[in-house]
A and B are shown apart, each in its own frame.
Chain A
């Protein structure tokens, strides 16, 4: 046997060499680009790092208490949660529905699957621009269609009440294809044996869905739910593009009318890069991380409880 099978010998060509060649850069990259920044972010959240100052005075939980007393952060928190509460259920339900429908589309399955997936692989920046343009109150398509039917035109992105819904509508349009594809894949793994058995038992379509399809999609559903909610909580690009006020010549910071489209990641980015509140920004990131972790854990527990059989 070769010497290399005994230990991690570092002779050229040996297992050890290959191991080292792989692990060293991997370890270094991992430490540098993941471990260090995440730990640093956690540490910064307890400091008053203001960019220029080389020392970062420790201020304990001050950033966190500041966040919960900051009306704009609280608004961002509210907006983010509302955004998820809208986009997640709708996106998941629509994704599932589409998957079920497309699964039955026979020869047209491929075509429809492609079409519904197109918004997913196109740059969000680009499509958000198009939607922003379509939402334009004076000459956008949406108002044009409304007035065709004699309905009153809306302010869309410029209206405090509607703005977040508008962004959410875009996000749903953009993301539903992804959910659909995952569900489709999940559906194809369900052995027809189950369906046959159910039909033998005399179940109708609806019962087949609830008692056979859905439970067998448990893994898929878990994945879709978790990713949709996590993505919703971290949304940035659509808000950034769609809620900058459309002001001639100049341009405003994204946040929308009455800060109604401001989401946590956007506010964090603004505070960090515009006001150099890097400690505060890090704290907001940590808060959001906790929210994501809690939400994910709750979902996993709930799903597990529901479908354990």
Chain B
């Protein structure tokens, strides 16, 4: 303890300076969130009054009640949850399977297909947007969860990530299993999949963040408010409720809080995941 505190005191002045500057920046980063939360507890009259109050003069829970009762955000939360879990599950399975065959199987066109899959990462989403919507309509997946889940089942990023990861698994393991008479599905589910833990975790987190916050595609696909996800429901407040800032902020908190909480607990994996996916790109 004594040694540590000595090291603490004798820190270079540069470190203090860095801490100071970073702290100022950190305030800038977090101020909007503080504002978001604090506004949810102020009554409308106080929100629209000058001078602006940095702490509520009067506390009210009305905006929170409105968010759940009037604006139906409880339902949006459940919708987001359902869709996110479905997509993550789908992504994990499909990416692992595809990653496995790209890494360990030989077949004609393998490399070409892999490059194409990677190439799709480069295509911005708005290019296929309209024809994709048209396709959803033809399959009658528009205005339903299927329209959101099915196009997202495969993740090129995930395939790439898992392929890189599985590539490093020595072939001997699989050969040995085959010698023992295991079929390919067994090998995949019982041998490969458990070995991919870290990559799967990183992928899951990446998919979670992307899907939870995804706006444009669900916005275009969904018409029925009962099906809205959180970002879409939030954007819907642009109209008649846009002046009800307390409500909008409460809805914003509901949209951002779950992921934020998850992030705090899974930080390390999160960042690992981003860097793993990022660095290889």
A-side interface residues toward B, CB under 8 Å? Answer: 2, 4, 8, 12-15, 17-19, 21-23, 25-27, 29-30, 32-34, 36-38, 40-41, 44, 98, 101-102, 104-106, 108, 110, 112-119, 121-127, 129-131, 133-134, 138-141, 144, 173, 177-178, 181-182, 184-186, 219-220, 223, 227, 230, 233-234, 236-237, 240-241, 244, 246, 248-251, 265, 268-269, 272-273, 278, 281-282, 285-286, 288-289, 292, 296
Contacts and interface: CB of A to CB of B under 8 A. Distances in A.
**Would you call the interface of chain A mostly helix, strand, loop, or mixed?**
helix
Contact of A116 (B29, B98, B131, B243): B29
B171 to A, nearest CB: 13
B107 interface: yes
Contacts, number: 262
Contact of B231 (A112, A125, A181): A125
A37 B135 contact: yes
Contacts of B22: 98, 101-102, 105, 108, 112
14 contacts: A2-B178, A17-B184, A34-B128, A38-B131, A101-B22, A104-B18, A121-B259, A121-B263, A123-B255, A131-B32, A139-B47, A173-B29, A234-B124, A241-B238
Nearest to A254: B238
Interface string B131-142: 110110000000
Contacts of A292: 124
A257 B82 CA distance: 39
Given A116-B25, A251-B239, A126 B19 contact: no
Contact of B130 (A27, A98, A140, A278): A278
Nearest to B108: A8
B48 A139 contact: yes
B83 interface: no
Contact of A19 (B49, B101, B212, B259): B101
B231 A41 contact: no
A123 B263 contact: no
B65 interface: no
A115 B26 CA distance: 6
**Would you call the interface of chain B mostly helix, strand, loop, or mixed?**
helix
Contacts of A139: 47-50, 52
Contacts of B248: 129, 133
A15 B98 contact: no
B234 A123 contact: yes
A44 B131 contact: yes
B39 A133 contact: yes
Contacts of B58: none
Interface residues of B, number: 93
Nearest to A127: B32
Interface in B131-166: 131-132, 134-135, 150-151, 153-154
B154 A26 contact: yes
B29 A118 contact: yes
B135 A121 contact: no
Nearest to B120: A34
Interface in B13-51: 14-15, 18-19, 21-22, 25-26, 28-30, 32-33, 35-36, 39, 47-51
B195 interface: no
A29 B156 CA distance: 11
A90 to B, nearest CB: 13
A190 B34 CA distance: 36
Contacts of B251: 126
Contact of B117 (A30, A40, A115, A117): A30
Nearest to B50: A139
Nearest to B233: A125
Given A30-B120, A123-B255, A144-B50, A237 B216 contact: yes
Contacts of B18: 101, 104-105
Contacts of A237: 215-216
B29 A249 contact: no
B196 interface: no
A243 to B, nearest CB: 11
Contacts of A125: 213, 215, 231, 234-235, 252, 255
Contacts of B51: 144
Interface string B266-281: 0100110011001101
A43 to B, nearest CB: 9
Nearest to B209: A121
Contacts of B94: 25-26
A15 B184 contact: yes
Given A14-B184, A18-B101, A123-B231, A34 B49 contact: no
A26 B26 CA distance: 43
Given A124-B215, A129-B252, A130-B35, 16 more contacts: A13-B186, A33-B128, A34-B123, A36-B131, A37-B130, A38-B131, A121-B213, A133-B39, A139-B50, A139-B52, A173-B29, A181-B278, A185-B271, A185-B275, A219-B279, A268-B126
